[in-house]
Amino acid sequence: MYGFEFDMTTKAVFGEGSVAKVGELAAGFGKKALLVSYDEDFVKKMGFYQKVAESCKAAGVTLVCAFGVKSNPTVEHALGVIALAKKEKPDVIIALGGGSAIDEAKFVGVAAGYAGDPWDLASGKAPITECLPLIAVVTIPATSSELNGTSVMSYEKIQRKDGFVSGLMRPKYAVLDPELTYTIPIKQTAYSAADIVSHLLEAYLGHGLDWAPFQDHYCQASIRTIMECMDRLLKDPKDKEARAQMMWTASYAWNGFYPCGLGPCDATIHILGHSLSNFYDTPHGAAMSVTIPATMRYFLGSKTKKLAEIAREVFAVHEADDQAAAKAGIAAFVAWCKKIGTPTTLAEAGIPADSIAKMAPDALKTAQAWGLGELYTLDSCTKMFELCK
């Protein structure tokens, strides 16, 4: 194992009804909170906003609201929220939603006290030195953003989607109330499931250790958990236990805990997937369900044993030969995606095949930005996207 430092500074507040504690938590930082969330009509129709607003009112916290976050959050929208934050000077930010709302809230949090171009902070041109305290109220469990220090933003003006990391962006509190997920449509739930699996597989396929039983078995068991949850939710979308288990598993899929000790990891699934969302606004989970099988196929020859292990441990494949088992595992994953209703090809995601010519250079640029450029070439990125057909 590699040496590591693991800092889990976020306090998780889990349980049905825990959203009622948001006001009390916010009051610990001051009397004014900036709420960052999705479409106003939607969050009010679902009852999310009212729960948070009532809790804050009871705690004496004034809410300043910024609605309109997209499923792939944009810098363009965030600039307006940053201006609002600079004007209102909130004591804390409350992100109400899934990874998109939380990621934009993080971007706003670091930019609210910065005088220059906010993109400087996301692109690494300027160091992140401060961030407004953040409370993440999760309504769509998928990205682990509520328990990590990562933000992913799309800048439409320059046609880039990129992630950036700082421990300062870790939320102070993650409010995980399964009740807020009971009404998520099954299609969106399926996208979330694919997203969670992508985070788990990223480190599993990306690390280079010959033997990492704790981390590898953790990955395998977590994927099985998500699949079992989806089996129950396909039968009953309001299955409370399945919703709760999925929410907690999502939080620990990519919060920094599971990859501890694995050392440097490749990130092919997300390097490819970000380009789908960047150019076609593909929902993140849908993009992942396309790039996961393509990544598996690309590494079939070099990571045969790892793929065979997933096939046997997760999909109960009984092939003795690793190559045959790995191929069966890939087929089983594709079948699972079809069962839950997520795309597995560019065509199924509504993306034309000739888009590869512009997505491959974009993916290479992402790999280089993430310090993985030596592992990629334009040719390899093109071949990976070809496997998405």
How would you classify the pairing of strands 160-165 and 150-155?
A: antiparallel
* 3-class secondary structure, 342: coil
At residue 242 the predicted structure's pLDDT band, cuts being 50, 70 and 90, is very high
80 and 132 share one domain: yes
* Mean pLDDT, residues 302-330 taken together: 97
Residue 261 lies in a domain: yes
193 and 157 share one domain: no
Q: Can you give the CATH number for the domain in which 298 is found?
A: 1.20.1090.10
Is residue 104's pLDDT more than 90?
yes
First to last CA, the chain: 37
pTM of the predicted structure, to 2 decimals: 0.95
Quick one: tokens of 66? 């910024």
368 and 234 share one domain: yes
Give the model's pLDDT for residue 374. 95
* 3-class secondary structure, 240: helix
Is residue 28's pLDDT more than 90?
yes
Give the model's pLDDT for residue 287. 97
Residue 4 lies in a domain: no
Phi, psi of 269 (to 5 degrees): -55, -45
Quick one: tokens of 153? 């933003």
157 and 288 share one domain: no
46 and 71 share one domain: yes
Is residue 7's pLDDT more than 90?
no
Is residue 8's pLDDT more than 90?
no
107 and 150 share one domain: yes
CB burial of 305-321 (b: ≥16 within 10 Å; e: otherwise) equals ebbbbbbbbbbebeeee
Give the model's pLDDT for residue 111. 98
272 and 324 share one domain: yes
Residue 139 lies in a domain: yes
If you average pLDDT over every residue of the chain, what do you get? 97
* Mean pLDDT, residues 229-236 taken together: 98
Helices (H), 171-258: 186-206, 213-235, 240-251
* Mean pLDDT, residues 354-364 taken together: 97
Question: Which residue among 160, 180, 200 closes a domain?
Answer: 180
Question: Which residue among 157, 180, 203 closes a domain?
Answer: 180
265 and 368 share one domain: yes
Residue 73 lies in a domain: yes
Q: Percent of the chain at pLDDT above 70?
A: 100
Q: Can you give the CATH number for the domain in which 128 is found?
A: 3.40.50.1970
37 and 155 share one domain: yes
| Residue indicated by tokens 């800092």 | 7
CA distances from 150 to 14, 146, 169, 236 (A): 21, 9, 7, 33
Residue 3 lies in a domain: no
363 and 247 share one domain: yes
Interatomic CA distance for residues 302 and 308, integer angstroms? 12
Interatomic CA distance for residues 210 and 73, integer angstroms? 38
Interatomic CA distance for residues 155 and 274, integer angstroms? 12
Domain enclosing residue 36, as ranges = 11-180
DSSP 8-state class, residue 256 = S
Question: Which residue among 139, 164, 180 closes a domain?
Answer: 180
Residue 2 lies in a domain: no
Q: Percent of the chain at pLDDT above 90?
A: 99
At residue 353 the predicted structure's pLDDT band, cuts being 50, 70 and 90, is confident
Residue 1 lies in a domain: no
Instruction: Render pLDDT for 79-89 as a digit per residue (tens, 0 to 9).
Output: 999 999 999 99
At residue 312 the predicted structure's pLDDT band, cuts being 50, 70 and 90, is very high
* Mean pLDDT, residues 355-361 taken together: 97
Interatomic CA distance for residues 222 and 228, integer angstroms? 10
- Rama region for 30: left / alpha / beta (φ>0; ψ in -120 to 50; rest): left
Sign (positive/negative) of CA torsion 128, 132, 137, 139? Answer: negative
Work out how many domains the chain is built from and give that number: 2
CB 140 within 8 A of CB 61: no
Instruction: Render pLDDT for 170-222 as a digit per residue (tens, 0 to 9).
Output: 999 999 999 999 999 999 999 999 999 999 999 999 999 999 999 999 999 99
* Mean pLDDT, residues 298-303 taken together: 97
Q: Give Cβ neighbours of residue 89 (< 8 Å, ≥ 6 apart).
A: 32
Residue 276 lies in a domain: yes
* Mean pLDDT, residues 107-121 taken together: 97
